[in-house]
Amino acid sequence: MAVNTANAYGRITVTDEAISEVAGFSALDCYGIVDLEAKKFFDNVAELFRKGKARASRGVRVMTNGDKIFIDLYVVVKYGVAIEAVAESLKKTVTYNVEKFTGMVVDTVNVNVSGVKV
């Protein structure tokens, strides 16, 4: 799916893949986030064979419904940080950056902590 909008200049379409790239790069810039984790085992295997695919969208799942965006993030956090504080900061950062990028409303950002690294 994709998010569509129209303005005085014409029609704009933003794909879910582009949104997941922005969300992934925003997540990796947040303090306390070490890496993004693949959602499924098959995604890990498929990543080995994709050379040009960026790693930023690896742990991001984007769903769109009309003009609303729903994002699931699968992250690995740094050992010793407050997970709740990092998750709240991550939600706010990703929401702001995706809304700024698309011009659409981000309805939900779910943070799933897959692991902790030292």
Domain 2-117 has CATH 3.30.70.1350: yes
For residue 114, give every residue at least 6 positions away whose Cβ sits within 8 Å of its Cβ, in sequence order, or none: 37, 59, 74, 75, 76
Segment 65-102, tens digit of pLDDT: 877 899 999 999 999 999 999 999 999 999 999 999 98
pLDDT at 9: 86
The pLDDT tens digits of the residues spanning 36-48 come to 987 665 555 556 5
Task: Please count the CA atoms within 13 angstroms of the CA of 58 that sit on its side-chain side.
Answer: 22
